[in-house]
Amino acid sequence: MKPERGPLRVALLGCGVVGSEVVRLLREQADDLAARVGTPLELAGVAVRRPERVRAGVDPALVTTDAQGLVTRDDVDIVVEVIGGIEPARTLMLEAMKTGKSVVTANKALLAEDGATLFAAAREYGADLYYEAAVAGAIPLLRPLRESLVGDHVHRVLGIVNGTTNYILDQMDSGGAGFNEALEEAQALGYAEADPTADVEGFDAAAKAAILAQLAFHTPVTAADVHREGITEVSAADVAGAKGMDCVVKLLAICERVPSEGGRNGRGVSVRVYPAMIPRTHPLASVREAYNAVFVEAESAGSLMFYGAGAGGAPTASAVLGDLVAVARNVVGGTPGPVEVTYAKLPVLPMGETVTRYYIHLDVTDEAGVLATVAEEFARHEVSIQAVRQVGLGEEAQLVVVTHRAPDAALSAVVEGLRGLDSVREVASVMRVEGEE
Amino acid sequence: MKPERGPLRVALLGCGVVGSEVVRLLREQADDLAARVGTPLELAGVAVRRPERVRAGVDPALVTTDAQGLVTRDDVDIVVEVIGGIEPARTLMLEAMKTGKSVVTANKALLAEDGATLFAAAREYGADLYYEAAVAGAIPLLRPLRESLVGDHVHRVLGIVNGTTNYILDQMDSGGAGFNEALEEAQALGYAEADPTADVEGFDAAAKAAILAQLAFHTPVTAADVHREGITEVSAADVAGAKGMDCVVKLLAICERVPSEGGRNGRGVSVRVYPAMIPRTHPLASVREAYNAVFVEAESAGSLMFYGAGAGGAPTASAVLGDLVAVARNVVGGTPGPVEVTYAKLPVLPMGETVTRYYIHLDVTDEAGVLATVAEEFARHEVSIQAVRQVGLGEEAQLVVVTHRAPDAALSAVVEGLRGLDSVREVASVMRVEGEE
Ligand SMILES: NC(=O)c1ccc[n+]([C@@H]2O[C@H](COP(=O)([O-])OP(=O)(O)OC[C@H]3O[C@@H](n4cnc5c(N)ncnc54)[C@H](OP(=O)(O)O)[C@@H]3O)[C@@H](O)[C@H]2O)c1
Ligand SMILES: NC(=O)c1ccc[n+]([C@@H]2O[C@H](COP(=O)([O-])OP(=O)(O)OC[C@H]3O[C@@H](n4cnc5c(N)ncnc54)[C@H](OP(=O)(O)O)[C@@H]3O)[C@@H](O)[C@H]2O)c1
């Protein structure tokens, strides 16, 4: 039907962990790719920092340090950006789109910080901008959210989107290790980097939460909008407490539509990343080691979960190739794919207004009336208690309290208040409880 | 960029469990849908059998019994088929495509029986034919397989694709119920139909297996090619035996690429449906009640799982709407989406050549030499034993044998042979073991 056209020419920016696997797949899957696109995909050039490095399977003649020149070349149809970071990635992608090229990227940091600029450019120049690999690596997640659930109404997205922290928390849960010990093991096994800040402090998860919230709720969200708490403070006692509740501690990225009285869109969205307890019966609870999974609750589709490897060169490259084929088909067909829409423009609500539940573990003095004093503190902030359990006696006396749902501001005011009580010797553990209705 | 165009007109064939929810979503999601498509979607007509029935939210003026007239009307752009069955659905869809309309369907039976005819028509007339809802209801699965994994190489698909049988097996596992008791409970709760044949005999799962195999391996597969065993013979003893192995029994749809010495495509595909044991640590093991999940193993992406509601009016309609938007965007853009490709044309191998593992539970006489006689029978067919366990003594003496991987023909010859041994009083349970490497 369509006239035959020559091969589509792909410029690859970056040839590291992900880029080198993209090169491999372009070669190994060449026939399948050509069959799906309708014409072969051809590597036009590979931009790197250190051109002298030997790169398996890469024709040295294609390697260049002139990324800027490469993205503006006339014989390039599509640009794949796997350099990472804000600059020069942003400028290169903007240049590419300005000269009519479509872009595939895995760059979560950039999308979460300044996605709006990129989406605006895509719209202005009629270019595609695809980024499946930016969230949860190989797991096909953004495309289903964007395309399959387009006729549905997403209420909530709950995700384990960082493999490093899931590995650490899983070790703490199964082996009883403390955070530092589990982190060292993760580093030794290559699951955590030498500087683990981006992972353990939740920055990586927050970037992904912003991208997911934007897609799920058609509303602009940046990483800076995301309430973020990492896992460095999670103690063996927290994990043991979770076990006692038949729960497990996971670092969750949560994107939630906050309902309003009238109107289907709700009065805003809550986007947050923190360690929380979820029941062991929740599908996310069985996500072990460095795997990722994202649980989506939609009005008609109900509960969905997407599970798989969240990182790694080959899995991430698999997602890049999926996008590359979609973009290539659009180039061949002459129509760009769906552009990011943020027409809902819902406000991102502050954490204090987010409604959640707390688990609070207190070391208390063993006197008559302690429970009454503690309960009084909850009542003062209009937080109602779902269950309370007293453990031990004397010096060891402890109270475990689980609240009903309440605004986070009220819950944290309760914790402040408890800290000030004479009968409370220590607030040993505070953790949010998620994944229940 | 594109000139404004009028609303896209949708003809709905069938307005039952799924169709009535499609109508609801078209109304409730109208704004979101119009934003994504670029123009509103409008219901042009609704074909049913019993026009006199009152249908909530459906304008009676749109209802017709003349489905044939509706699909060929000039003012219809897209046809949604949710009647089900082979005819008149097939003729109606062919007519629609012949007159240039794209089609969205949830009809797994028809696709698995005669998908080739439909795909050929789609290709010939340049029409879209989308069918996400046909497999695993709301779970976005076909689109990820078709589009996201297009640059990858799928080795295996393992799915729980029938909610009724999963509900029954889950009851048998958690409550210790027998098959009949669990079936009755499923019927009482509406999880099983009065005539449960299509579900419990594996016909429904086999249709879905055919559709999945075709997509995963780019090769034509029909329901008749699928080796099919249902769950009616699964006994409480089988389920208990699985527990003893730290496994759970699931009805699995398995699509596997069978490797060959040379060549990446393999020497064929194996497509089968049967109850099998999988380890409790496998992500599919925790799929409870009537949920569905599909586990995909791909070369680069690694292990992926897609989980969600496999049926029900609203979930299925959610998937239909996702397809409808994709098709509508293609109509607006003037280019059809990817056409089903079956360029690989791999043979479907007979079950006897499929390599799998058996769990065999034997009641044996308690004599010296029983184990040797039994082991001899395995050796005769070149099946090697991974583990054997003797339980009980005297009248109660039992052997539990788990094999290594071997061709199914050899494994079933072993079982035949065992039945003929004097020292084997009964072959109490035989079950395949899947989900392990
Ligand atoms: N790794 C994963 O598992 C994973 C998963 C999901 C998403 N991602 C994302 O994928 C992207 C790439 O990650 P990666 O792990 O592949 O990174 P990487 O291994 O560090 O590779 C980066 C590549 O970019 C090149 N590069 C750096 N600065 C450059 C510049 N100014 N001009 C041209 N080339 C430059 C490097 O060149 P040299 O080779 O010469 O140093 C290297 O080839 C990031 O956005 C990351 O967030 C990665
Ligand atoms: N239900 C599910 O959970 C589910 C899940 C996945 C896929 N599906 C698939 O979705 C399709 C529809 O299923 P369903 O459960 O919605 O079926 P259903 O409730 O039985 O509805 C069938 C509809 O088709 C109409 N119809 C029957 N014969 C017709 C004819 N000759 N001409 C015009 N209309 C006719 C019926 O009209 P009347 O209303 O007048 O009887 C009814 O509205 C099937 O292919 C099924 O496999 C269903």
pLDDT of residue A1: 41
Residue ranges of chain A with per-residue pLDDT less than 70: 1-4, 437
> What b/e string do you get for B241-261 counting C-beta neighbours within 10 Å, with b at 16 or more?
bbeebebbbbbbbbbbbbeee
pTM: 0.93
Separation CA B373–CA A88 (nearest Å): 72
**DSSP character at residue B304:** E
> Tens digits of per-residue pLDDT, B175-186?
889 999 999 999
Strands B102-105 and B78-81: parallel
**DSSP character at residue A194:** S
Give the CA angle between residues B220, B223, B229 to the nearest 5°.
135
Strands B227-228 and B302-309: unpaired
Separation CA A162–CA A109 (nearest Å): 13
Separation CA B390–CA B367 (nearest Å): 12
Taking 60 as the threshold, does the pLDDT of residue B2 lie above it? no
- Collect all residues of chain B within an 8 Å Cβ-Cβ radius of residue A335: 333-335
Token couple for A121? 């450019």
Q: Is B83 on the interface with A (CB under 8 A)?
A: no
Q: Which of B140, B104, B24, B31 is nearest to A148 (CA)?
A: B140
Q: Is A315 on the interface with B (CB under 8 A)?
A: yes
User: Are the beta carbons of A10 and A324 closer than 8 angstroms?
Assistant: yes
Separation CA A46–CA A15 (nearest Å): 7
Per the listing, tokens 């640059």 go with: B151
Set A98, A208, A243, A345: catalytic member: A208
* A263 assigned to a ligand binding site: no
For residue A184, what are the contacts with CB-CB under 8 A and spacing of at least 6? none
Do the Cβ atoms of A303 and B301 come within 8 Å?
no
* Dihedral Cα A114, A117, A122, A125, nearest 10 deg: -160
Chain A residue with the nearest C-alpha to that of B150:
A322
Residue range B8-24: average pLDDT? 97
pLDDT of residue A151: 83
- CA-to-CA separations, A267 to A226, A270, A353, B25, B40, in angstroms, rounded: 17, 10, 11, 21, 25
User: Are the beta carbons of B372 and B379 closer than 8 angstroms?
Assistant: no
Residue range B37-54: average pLDDT? 95
User: Are the beta carbons of B177 and B185 closer than 8 angstroms?
Assistant: yes
- The yes-or-no answer on residue B98 being catalytic is no
| Averaged confidence pLDDT in chain B | 93
> Tens digits of per-residue pLDDT, B246-279?
999 999 999 999 988 777 778 899 999 999 999 9
pLDDT of residue B1: 41
Give me ligand 1 centre to Cα A186, in Å: 21
* Nearest ligand 1 atom to alpha carbon A88: 31
Set B2, B98, B101, B208: catalytic member: B208
CB pairs under 8 A between A and B: 196
Please report how many Cα atoms fall inside a 13 Å half-sphere around the Cα of residue B419, on the Cβ side: 9
Separation CA A278–CA B248 (nearest Å): 24
Q: What's the ipTM?
A: 0.91
Strands B302-309 and B247-258: unpaired
User: Are the beta carbons of A179 and A235 closer than 8 angstroms?
Assistant: yes
User: Are the beta carbons of B102 and B93 closer than 8 angstroms?
Assistant: no
Chain A, residues 195-224, CB within 8 A of chain B, namely 218
Token couple for A424? 């409370």
Chain A residue with the nearest C-alpha to that of B310:
A301
User: Are the beta carbons of B338 and A329 closer than 8 angstroms?
Assistant: yes
Best of B148, B296, B345 to disrupt the A interface (most A CBs within 10 Å) is B148
Nearest ligand to the C-alpha of residue B161? 2
User: Are the beta carbons of B132 and B140 closer than 8 angstroms?
Assistant: yes
- Collect all residues of chain A within an 8 Å Cβ-Cβ radius of residue B307: 283, 303-307
Helix (H) or strand (E) holding A326, with range, is helix A313-333
- The percentage of residues in chain B with a pLDDT greater than 90, rounded to a whole number, is 83
Separation CA A327–CA A76 (nearest Å): 13
Nearest ligand to the C-alpha of residue A207? 1
Give me ligand 1 centre to Cα A180, in Å: 28
Nearest C-alpha of chain B: how many angstroms from A68? 27
Per the listing, tokens 């994504």 go with: B36
User: Are the beta carbons of A242 and A234 closer than 8 angstroms?
Assistant: no
> Tens digits of per-residue pLDDT, B339-368?
777 777 899 999 999 999 999 999 999 888
User: Are the beta carbons of B130 and B268 closer than 8 angstroms?
Assistant: no
Q: Where are the alpha helices (DSSP H) in B52-202?
A: 67-71, 89-98, 108-125, 142-146, 163-175, 179-188, 197-200
pLDDT of residue A395: 81
Nearest ligand to the C-alpha of residue A87? 1
Taking 90 as the threshold, does the pLDDT of residue B100 lie above it? yes
- Collect all residues of chain A within an 8 Å Cβ-Cβ radius of residue B278: none
What crossing angle do the helices spanning B30-37 and B313-333 adopt, rounded to 10°? 30
Best of B41, B152, B257, B300 to disrupt the A interface (most A CBs within 10 Å) is B300
* Nearest ligand 1 atom to alpha carbon A110: 45
Separation CA A353–CA B137 (nearest Å): 35
Do the Cβ atoms of B300 and A25 come within 8 Å?
yes
Helix (H) or strand (E) holding A122, with range, is helix A108-125
Mean pLDDT lowest among A22-26, A335-339, B2-6, B153-157: B2-6
Separation CA A118–CA A130 (nearest Å): 11
User: Are the beta carbons of A359 and A241 closer than 8 angstroms?
Assistant: yes
* The dihedral sign for the CA sequence A286, A291, A292, A298: negative
Chain B, residues 96-155, CB within 8 A of chain A, namely 126, 132, 138-140, 143-144, 147-153
User: Using a 6 Å CB cutoff, which residues line ligand 2?
Assistant: B 14-19, 47-50, 53, 67, 82-84, 88, 106-108, 133, 137, 311-313, 316
Kindly report the number of other CB atoms within 10 A of residue B95's CB atom: 19
Q: Which of B181, B101, B193, B104 is nearest to B142 (CA)?
A: B104
Cα end-to-end span (Å), chain B: 52
Token couple for A432? 């949010």
- Reported as a pLDDT band with limits 50, 70 and 90, residue B405 is very high
Chain B, residues 344-383, CB within 8 A of chain A, namely none
- Reported as a pLDDT band with limits 50, 70 and 90, residue B138 is confident
Domain locations in chain A as residue ranges: 8-137+314-333, 142-308, 351-433
- How many H helices and E strands in chain A? 14, 17
Per the listing, tokens 């609801």 go with: B24
CATH T-level fold of A351-433? Alpha-Beta Plaits (3.30.70)
Do the Cβ atoms of B315 and A333 come within 8 Å?
no
User: Are the beta carbons of A435 and A356 closer than 8 angstroms?
Assistant: no
The radius of gyration of chain A from alpha carbons, rounded to an integer in Å, stands at: 24
- Collect all residues of chain B within an 8 Å Cβ-Cβ radius of residue A138: 298, 300-302, 304
Kindly report the number of other CB atoms within 10 A of residue A98's CB atom: 14
Give me ligand 2 centre to Cα B83, in Å: 4
- CA-to-CA separations, A247 to A389, A393, B233, in angstroms, rounded: 16, 25, 36
Please state which CATH number belongs to domain B8-137+314-333. 3.40.50.720
pLDDT of residue A415: 97
User: Are the beta carbons of B194 and B167 closer than 8 angstroms?
Assistant: no
Give me ligand 1 centre to Cα A82, in Å: 5
- Which one-letter amino acid corresponds to residue B113? E
Q: Which of A269, A411, A293, A306 is nearest to A352 (CA)?
A: A411
Do the Cβ atoms of A138 and B29 come within 8 Å?
no
Separation CA A421–CA A426 (nearest Å): 9
* A18 assigned to a ligand binding site: yes
User: Using a 6 Å CB cutoff, which residues line ligand 1?
Assistant: A 14-19, 47-50, 53, 67, 82-84, 88, 106-108, 133, 137, 311-313, 316
CB-closest option in B29, B152, B306 to A306: B306
Token couple for B393? 């003594």
Backbone angles phi, psi at B78, to 5 degrees: -135, 140
List the residue whose alpha carbon is closest to atom 14 of ligand 2.
B17
Q: Is B331 on the interface with A (CB under 8 A)?
A: no
Q: Which of B401, B397, B407 is nearest to B430 (CA)?
A: B401
Compute the residue count for chain A: 437
CB-closest option in A1, A144, A147 to B126: A1
Nearest ligand to the C-alpha of residue A55? 1
CB-closest option in A306, A333, A341 to B335: A333
Nearest C-alpha of chain B: how many angstroms from A116? 18
Per the listing, tokens 């290559």 go with: A190
List the residue whose alpha carbon is closest to atom 30 of ligand 1.
A49
Residue range B39-44: average pLDDT? 96
Chain A residue with the nearest C-alpha to that of B285:
A286
The radius of gyration of chain B from alpha carbons, rounded to an integer in Å, stands at: 24
Separation CA B275–CA B249 (nearest Å): 6
pLDDT of residue B4: 60
* A100 assigned to a ligand binding site: no
* CATH architecture of structural domain B142-308: 2-Layer Sandwich (3.30)
pLDDT of residue A393: 81
What crossing angle do the helices spanning A108-125 and A203-217 adopt, rounded to 10°? 30
Residue range B6-24: average pLDDT? 96
Domains A8-137+314-333 and A142-308 share a fold: no
